[in-house]
Amino acid sequence: MKLCHYLFTALNFEPSCISPCCDVRRAGVPSFPFSGEALDLERYFRSVFAFFMELQNDSTPCEGCPELRTTLAPLPENYTIGLKISSISVNHHRFFCNCRCVYCDLWHPKQAAASPRPYAILPTLQQLAASRVLSAHPSISWGGGEPTILDEFEQTGVWALENGFHQYVHTNALRYSPAVARILSRGEGMVNVSLDSHDAASYRKIKGVDGWGAVMETLKAYVAASGAGQGVELKYIIFDSTNNLRDIQHFFALCQSLGVTRVLYSLNFCEINANAISEKTLYAGAFFRQMAKKCGMTANPFYLTANLMEQLDEFEKRLGE
């Protein structure tokens, strides 16, 4: 039997549909048309279950995705699964951002112009909460795009906080959010800021806007709100424009000065998809991990495949020689 646990435990909101996951690996996950207002949960469940049955074929969508697991157990007769959503991803604003990162093309004016304006997500979250399909302690991951520029973000973030949701906010921190600070101060969530730089000049080069000062002020406020910085993660995407080892050293010095103890590392998805990861980048990734250990920080990978992790392991061994 083939099964991906996201099918029946996760909901991902996109600009014009919902699906079980963000499909970062482009495996071809099922999608269900949606543009706001009431969500037909029964119809959505039927479409997901039909996809689950399709997965049992020899040639299936999602083949190669590490989340798709195969067990030796046969599919029981009259097999049924019910929705019990524990994870919600909000990406309906995917093309709306106030940053201009060089490794991302979603913010380009043509992309945003072709995408519908983000629909209101709060009514749908309230419907889900009232429908009893949520687990006891569900989570919301705010992706994007940039969630803090949504008109309803503050209201929705506070509503989710008061209704038992754990929230993980992916933000560029250009805009300070009282709701995020409140979430952090209550210990009911985390914030992930993809900084990818170490000073104003490198920030302008990679992020495409003059926002270093604003981001630093926001980060200081979030670290203070979270208490010892435990709720704040800084991400560093390693690619040809950021793989200078001295820049990585400066990044860790900045983390220490801010009181941040958690970092994420990733690679450029464009380079990954083009199979164009350079040895210098892999070496820098291994160096990044070693710097985290040296500084006593927690370093976690962000959407890296097992193959890439093995390559980073090998390069880290070379560093130790």
The confidence score (pLDDT) of residue 12 equals 96
Beta strands in the chain (DSSP E): 2-3, 10-13, 17-19, 32-33, 69-70, 85-90, 134-142, 166-171, 189-194, 232-238, 262-267, 298-301
- State the CATH class of domain 94-320: alpha beta
Would the pLDDT of 110 be above 80?
no
Give the single-character DSSP code of 56.
Answer: T
Per-residue pLDDT, 75: 64
Q: Which of 69-73, 85-89, 115-119 has the lowest mean pLDDT?
A: 69-73
Taking the complete model, does pTM exceed 0.85, yes or no? Answer: yes
**CB of 251 within 8 A of CB of 195?**
yes
Terminal-to-terminal C-alpha distance of the chain: 44
pLDDT of residue 25: 67
Residues in the chain: 321
DSSP state of 170: E
pLDDT winner (highest mean) among 38-42, 58-62, 75-79, 234-238: 234-238
| DSSP state at residue 147 | G
* Cis ω for the linkage preceding 143 (within 30 of 0): no
Tokens of 104: 């991302």
Q: In the prediction, which pLDDT does 128 show?
A: 94
Nearest to 75 by CA among 10, 125, 136, 2: 2
Q: What's the pLDDT at 79?
A: 62
Which residues are CB-neighbours of 86 under 8 A, at least 6 positions away?
9, 10, 134, 135, 137, 138, 139
Joined together, the tokens standing for residue 209 give: 């806007």
Identify the pLDDT of residue 78: 63
The pLDDT assigned to 74 comes to 66
d(CA 10, CA 139): 10
Q: Reply yes or no on whether the pLDDT at 321 is more than 70.
A: no
Q: What whole-number distance in Å separates Cα of residue 32 and Cα of residue 45?
A: 10
Task: Tokens 């006891």: give the residue.
Answer: 136
To the nearest whole percent, how much of the chain has pLDDT over 90? 67
Domain chopping of the chain, boundaries: 2-70, 94-320
Report which of 29, 40, 43, 34 is spatially closest to residue 13, judged by C-alpha positions: 34
Does position 174 have pLDDT exceeding 70, yes or no?
A: yes
Q: Which strands sit side by side in the sheet containing 10-13, from one edge to the other? A: 32-33, 17-19, 10-13, 85-90, 134-142, 166-171, 189-194, 232-238, 262-267, 298-301
